[in-house]
């Protein structure tokens, strides 16, 4: 069996999809379906069982078994960068991840988990090294602190442990995330509704729409996850991005190009994001390449075409 926490979420459901495409259906999805619309992410997938997050955590803490488990993809977390309830964030993102790490190690189960590029904060160097890690919100801090725990634990680990520092992931099955969905998703909806894509005005020395992110397409993200599952001797914490940043203007222009029409408008930068916003990210993927993963990543233009074709059924 393979367990996917957050399996009804964005990255988790896409992992399940690609596992299905490999012929794997002995899968346990763990999630919280309080938002029942997340069901739309998994209604075309084949799994063995579903379990609520609360029951799963209780069983993990009680050290119960789930039969023969080969791997756990731990994608479940509170991913809102605007959430400042530190106790809630640490319980859901840090304590939960630690409990599952120890369970996997004791039962010799591969443990592949979601970290985040947000651990780098507002810095300009994105290399997996403590000196560059300065989280600027609670979500980022929870991910950073768990990575620190993993680093200390890894020398004595009895099984594979892999952390993926996801950069700006976009693609199918993210619609339930609302305001946390990708700019590709929002730009597409805006252009469909009124023909105008709205971008933030310039900040931190960047011109309008020229803030840059490492946008990485979901299928590429899942490919990396499954490659590590297929290579259980590879452990570590790895950046997962394309290695090449592109501007929000690039993203908007790619969506406009796909639509064949549309305009771009710039809106004032929100006050509540000032001081807690990354204006530039670009993954250093040297460690990922040295681990042996050598497949090319899609750029924004290629990824947007795949994504919008999927949304519209083309």
Answer yes or no: are the C-beta atoms of 136 and 189 closer than 8 Å. Answer: no
Is the pLDDT assigned to residue 224 strictly greater than 80? yes
Query: Cα separation of 46 and 152, whole Å?
Result: 37
Query: Which is catalytic among the residues 50, 98, 149, 177?
Result: 177
Phi then psi dihedrals of residue 49, to 5 deg? -165, 160
Confidence at 204, pLDDT banded by 50, 70, 90 = confident
End-to-end CA distance of the chain: 34
What pLDDT, on a 0 to 100 scale, did the predictor assign at position 305?
98
Q: Over the stretch 154-182, which tens digit does the pLDDT of each residue have?
A: 999 999 999 999 999 999 999 988 888 99
Q: Over the stretch 260-314, which tens digit does the pLDDT of each residue have?
A: 999 999 999 998 877 767 789 999 999 999 999 999 999 999 999 999 999 998 7
Q: Does residue 35 sit in helix, strand or coil?
A: coil
CA 236 to chain centre: 17
Two structure tokens written together for 248:
């929000």
Query: Which is catalytic among the residues 120, 139, 166, 217?
Result: 139
The domains found in the chain, sorted by start residue, are 2-169+216-243+286-291 (3.40.50.720), 170-212+245-281+300-312 (3.90.25.10)
Q: What is the mean pLDDT of the chain?
A: 95
pTM of the model: 0.95
Share of the chain above pLDDT 70, in %: 99
Query: Cα separation of 115 and 169, whole Å?
Result: 12
What pLDDT, on a 0 to 100 scale, did the predictor assign at position 272?
80
Burial class (CB in 10 A: 0-12, 13-18, 19+), 106: exposed
149 is catalytic: no
50 is catalytic: no
């Amino acid at each position: 069996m393979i367990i996917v926490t957050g399996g009804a979420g964005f990255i988790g459901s896409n992992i399940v999809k690609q596992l299905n495409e490999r012929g794997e259906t002995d899968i346990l999805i763990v999630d919280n379906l309080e938002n029942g619309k997340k069901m739309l992410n998994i209604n075309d997938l084949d799994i063995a069982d579903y379990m609520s997050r609360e029951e799963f955590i209780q069983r993990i803490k009680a050290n119960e078994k789930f039969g023969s488990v080969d791997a756990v993809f731990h994608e479940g977390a509170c991913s809102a960068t605007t959430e400042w309830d530190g106790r809630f964030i640490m319980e859901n993102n840090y304590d939960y991840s630690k409990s599952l790490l120890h369970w996997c190690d004791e039962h010799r189960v591969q443990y592949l988990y979601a970290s985040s590029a947000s651990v780098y904060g507002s810095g300009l160097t994105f290399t997996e090294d403590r000196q560059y890690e300065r989280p600027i919100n609670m979500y980022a801090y929870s991910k950073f602190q768990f990575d620190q725990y993993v680093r200390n634990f890894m020398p004595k680990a009895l099984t594979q442990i892999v952390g993926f520092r996801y950069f700006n992931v976009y693609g199918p099955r993210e619609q339930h995330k609302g305001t946390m969905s990708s700019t590709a998703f929002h730009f597409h909806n805006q252009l469909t509704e009124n023909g105008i894509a709205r971008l933030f005005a310039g900040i931190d020395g960047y011109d309008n729409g020229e803030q840059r992110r490492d946008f990485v397409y979901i299928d590429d993200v899942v490919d990396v996850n499954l490659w590590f599952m297929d290579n259980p001797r590879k452990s570590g914490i790895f950046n997962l991005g394309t290695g090449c940043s592109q501007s929000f203007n690039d993203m908007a222009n790619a969506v406009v190009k796909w639509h064949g029409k549309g305009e771009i408008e710039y809106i004032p930068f929100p006050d509540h994001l000032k001081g807690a916003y990354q204006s530039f990210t670009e993954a250093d993927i040297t460690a990922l390449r040295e681990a042996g993963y050598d497949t090319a990543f899609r750029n924004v233009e290629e990824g947007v075409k795949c994504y919008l074709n999927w949304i519209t059924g083309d």
